[in-house]
Amino acid sequence: MGGELGSLVAAKLEAEPWVGALVGVDVDPPRRRLRKAEFHLLQPSQRERIVDVVTKFNPHVVINLSVWEPDARAGLAHARQFTADAATAIIGAAAECPALEGMVVRSGIEVYGRERNSATRPTESAPMHPTSEYGLMLANVERQAREVGKRVGIAVGELRLAPVLGKHVPSPLGRLLRQPVVPFSLFADSPFAVIEDGDAARAFVLAALRRLNEPVNIVAPGAITTLQAIMRGRRVPLPMVGPEWSIASRLSHVFGAPIPDHVVELMHRGRLADGAKALDVLGFSPALSTPEVIDHLYAWESVVRIGSIQEAVA
């Protein structure tokens, strides 16, 4: 509930008439003003406290958004550890709640992997062959949730999100695309799809409402290549052929935008998925297309002068 997506989901849930009480757990405080929700500031490693909070509340639905994308808010090692700890604690605690009817977990289209001859636009029935660290982390979360769902007999829905971008979402892809000079793969420049954070939050609310019990891809319509995204953002494209990617990623790290392996994979091999099932199962259709999400990303002002806000208010 403390991350951008978590805060958005909580804010949307508060507005839903079917939501009675709401409890959230995160390592950061909420980024939005929440009126109804009760928040607990807990580390993923504090398993006993998390279990205590969740079981005392005894929810009907649990939404597990605690996935740390590598190099978004933490480096790879920490992201892997936090995600595993949080999944164990939250999914484990959910299994102990007698009133629980359903669980929705955050996953990503990285679980399909991009090995040679893998489907161009995988549907939910495509096998999971993650080929990046992030994909493996997400596949583990899905597996844990599904095992618990089978054991305690609850509905488990997995929302496989395309890379989530938004003005304030910590995302390695978003951060990289906003650099003044952005590398792209000259020979591949494959297309990818994304999803806006507000749309992703809406999908979670619908999944919780409908007690989703299957995986669903959440993808904005349309696609864009890295070069096209760079041109839309009026950044400087830096063509890369192959071996210099490692140098570029190190340089990018120094400038504050590390490039994890799943982002390199996206730029080389593309990342598309079929999002048609979301409309059938959840009645969900994204408000913004992929090129619009990219525009939205670039519409963010890097510096907002406090003085100018005060003047505007006055």
Partner 1 sequence: MAQLIEFPVKAATRAGNALAQPLRAAWPTHSVDDYGRDPHLIGALAPFAKLRWSVTVGGAHQLPTNTGALLVCNSRRYSLSAIYAALALGEETERPVRFVGRPDIAPIGSFMRRIGGLLATPADVLNALSHHELVLVAAEGTSHPRNAGKVPHELVGPAVVAGVAVFPVATMSSTIGRAARVEVGPAVRARRKRRGPLAEVELADQVQHHLQRMLDGFGGVQTGVAPIDWLAEG
Q: Which structure tokens are listed for 196?
A: 């806006």
The H or E element spanning position 273 is none
CB of 20 to partner 1, least distance (A): 40
Smallest CA-to-CA distance from 202 within 242, 159, 245 is with 159
Other CB atoms within 10 Å distance of the CB of residue 187: 10
235/304 Cα distance (integer angstroms)? 20
Taking the least distance from each CB to partner 1, the nearer of 53 and 193 is 193
Q: 141, 80 in Cβ contact below 8 A?
A: no
State in angstroms the smallest separation of the CB of 303 from partner 1.
Answer: 10
DSSP 205-266: HHHHHTT--SEEEE--SS-EEHHHHHHHTTPEEEEE-STTHHHHHHHHHHTT----HHHHHH
Kindly state the smallest distance separating residue 180's Cβ from partner 1, in Å: 4
Least CB distance to partner 1 at residue 120 (A): 5
Query: 80 or 268: whose CB is closer to partner 1?
Result: 268
**What minimum distance in Å lies between the beta carbon of 15 and partner 1?**
32
C-beta of 71 vs 274, nearer to partner 1: 274
Structure token digits, residue 187: 């020979």
Nearer to partner 1, 35 or 234 (CB): 234
Query: Encoding tokens for residue 144?
Result: 């844990």
- Residues of this chain that interact with partner 1 (CB under 8 A) are 116-117, 119-123, 126, 180-181, 185, 187-191, 193, 221-225, 228-229, 231-232, 234-237, 255, 268, 270, 272, 274, 276, 291
Our CB check for partner 1 shows the closer of 188 and 209 to be: 188
Residue (134 or 192) nearer to partner 1, CB: 192
Tokens of 115: 């090995």
- Other residues' Cβ atoms within 10 Å of the Cβ of residue 246: 11
What is the nearest approach in angstroms of partner 1 to the Cβ of residue 126? 6
